[in-house]
Amino acid sequence: MKKEVMLSICVALLAFTCATQVAAFEITKYGYIDKTGKMIIEPQTQVARDFSNGLAYISESFGVRARFIDKTGKVVFKCQLSDTADFSEGLAAIWAGGSCGYIDKTGEIVIKRDFYETWKFSEGLGRVNAGNYSHGKYGFVDKTGKIVIDTKFESAYDFSCGLASVEVDGKFGYINKEGKYVVEPKLDWGSDFSEGLAAVSIGGKRGYIDTSGKTAIKPRFSKCERFSEGLARVKPGYPEKWGYINKTGEMVIPAKYSGAFDFSEGLAYVYSGTGDFFINKNGEVAFEVDPKNYQNARRFKEGLAKVGVYPNFGYIDKTGKIVIKPKYDDASDFSEGLARIGVLVEYDEEE
């Protein structure tokens, strides 16, 4: 009997000890490195964004101890916000308490939170939604917060090349910065402009128009993407393979790739049954992406491309050489000279 009592006491003590034990698990914390791989800002927060306009948003978790830092890691200002976008043209879209507005680079709210959604400024105007998710209408504000183009569109893209794609009654057209139609809303779809051309859909086929609304490349593709560095990715149709055209519509790199990405800094990542490669604008292989060395290469930014060597990430140069060893648990492209990286650290929490 005495043994049974002692056993019961021991079990109870063990259960109590386990209940008060510190449970350890790992979380990702983010910092920033330069192009040599040197840690410039030590990993310290669970949330971090890329640098834009010289500032980056960081917080302990979404909205908790949120602040913006400069490239030395110094806190420029703290903010009581649920979320914020990157800075663009000196302003950043913010969200707090179910409403959206804009702050400047001192953290001051310069456009009141009078909107359901806000997006980055582009060419002097910011896209806003004045309603709600299901019944909202889109328009544009200037940097004083004045609505300069009424919130009357079903959807809208940011301004580029002086024009914005807008949707009315399920059809797309283009407006200028006065809100006047340059292209009437008769298109099945229309993207934003890039390098003077915009991808559009008419009658189930896709092509391109110029900023006057004239057809620049006749719709004949099943899919087409925006122009980047003078070339655009397209799928001519069956078989569904990607190739690249120039601004006259000429297929300059044959449609033979199962997957392809936009050109960035002179190179594009492509893959097919024969392997993964980076190609130049002549369609020549710059170097092969050998999965034995690294995977998940996508695009070059500021001279380097992020790659994965499971389960970590590092960076390669334009010869395909690994220049920053894959040792990070997460990583982003370089932006303004720094790249956001994540490392796993042990986090303790009492249950």
Is the same domain home to 350 and 302?
Answer: yes
Q: Is residue 72 part of a domain?
A: no
Q: Rounded CA gap, 28 and 313, in Å?
A: 13
Q: Which residues of 270-306 are buried (b: 16+ CB within 10 A; e: fewer)?
A: bbeeeebbbbebeeeeebebeeeebebbebbbeebbb
> How, if at all, do strands 215-221 and 205-210 pair?
antiparallel
Rounded mean pLDDT of 297-313?
94
Rounded mean pLDDT of 252-278?
96
Rounded mean pLDDT of 319-339?
97
CA dist 321 → 264, 284, 289, 300, 324 (Å):
17, 18, 10, 13, 9
Q: Which of 63-72, 76-85, 297-306 has the lowest mean pLDDT?
A: 76-85
What single DSSP character describes residue 73?
S
Nearest C-alpha neighbor of 31 from the set 17, 10, 47: 47
CB of 285 within 8 A of CB of 277?
yes
Mean residue pLDDT of the chain comes to: 90
The one-letter code for the residue type at 240 is E
Last residue of a domain, one of 253, 287, 321: 287
Q: Is residue 322 part of a domain?
A: yes
How many domains is the chain partitioned into structurally? 2
> Residue 215 above 50 pLDDT?
yes
Rounded to 5°, the CA angle 98-100-102 comes to: 150
Q: What is the DSSP string of 273-309?
A: TTEEEEE-TTS-EEEE--TTT-B----EETTEEEEEE
Is the same domain home to 314 and 283?
Answer: no
User: Coil, helix or strand for 220?
Assistant: strand
Q: Is residue 1 part of a domain?
A: yes
- Residue 347 CA neighbour count, 13 Å, CB half: 13
> Residue 207 above 80 pLDDT?
yes
Q: Which of 247-256, 259-268, 285-294 has the lowest mean pLDDT?
A: 285-294
Q: Which of 44-58, 59-73, 178-192, 226-240 has the lowest mean pLDDT?
A: 59-73
Give the ranges where 21-105 is alpha helix by DSSP (H): none
What's residue 133's pLDDT? Answer: 62
What single DSSP character describes residue 1?
-
8-13 LR contacts (CB < 8 Å, sep 24+): none
User: What is the domain extent for residue 9?
Assistant: 1-48+289-351
Is the previous residue joined to 239 through a cis bond, with omega within 30 degrees of 0?
Answer: yes
- Residue-wise pLDDT tens digits, 85-96: 899 999 999 988
**Whats the size of the chain, residue-wise?**
351
For residue 6, what are the contacts with CB-CB under 8 A and spacing of at least 6? none
Higher pLDDT residue, 296 or 127? 127
> Residue 65 above 90 pLDDT?
no
Q: Which of 63-67, 79-83, 230-234 has the highest mean predicted lDDT (pLDDT)?
A: 230-234
> Residue 50 above 50 pLDDT?
yes
Rounded to 5°, the CA angle 94-49-65 comes to: 65
Q: Is residue 152 part of a domain?
A: no
* Structure tokens belonging to residue 230: 């003078």
CB of 247 within 8 A of CB of 234?
no
Q: Is residue 166 part of a domain?
A: no
Tracing tokens 């024969």 back to the chain, one arrives at 274
> Residue 172 above 90 pLDDT?
yes
Is the same domain home to 281 and 303?
Answer: no
Is the same domain home to 276 and 249?
Answer: yes
Q: Rounded CA gap, 311 and 331, in Å?
A: 12
> Residue 10 above 80 pLDDT?
no
> Residue 21 above 70 pLDDT?
no
> Residue 178 above 50 pLDDT?
yes
What's residue 17's pLDDT? Answer: 46
Q: Is residue 21 part of a domain?
A: yes
User: Coil, helix or strand for 11?
Assistant: helix
Q: Is residue 242 part of a domain?
A: yes
What's residue 84's pLDDT? Answer: 86
Is the same domain home to 12 and 36?
Answer: yes
Q: Is residue 190 part of a domain?
A: no
Model confidence at 80, pLDDT cuts 50, 70, 90, reads confident
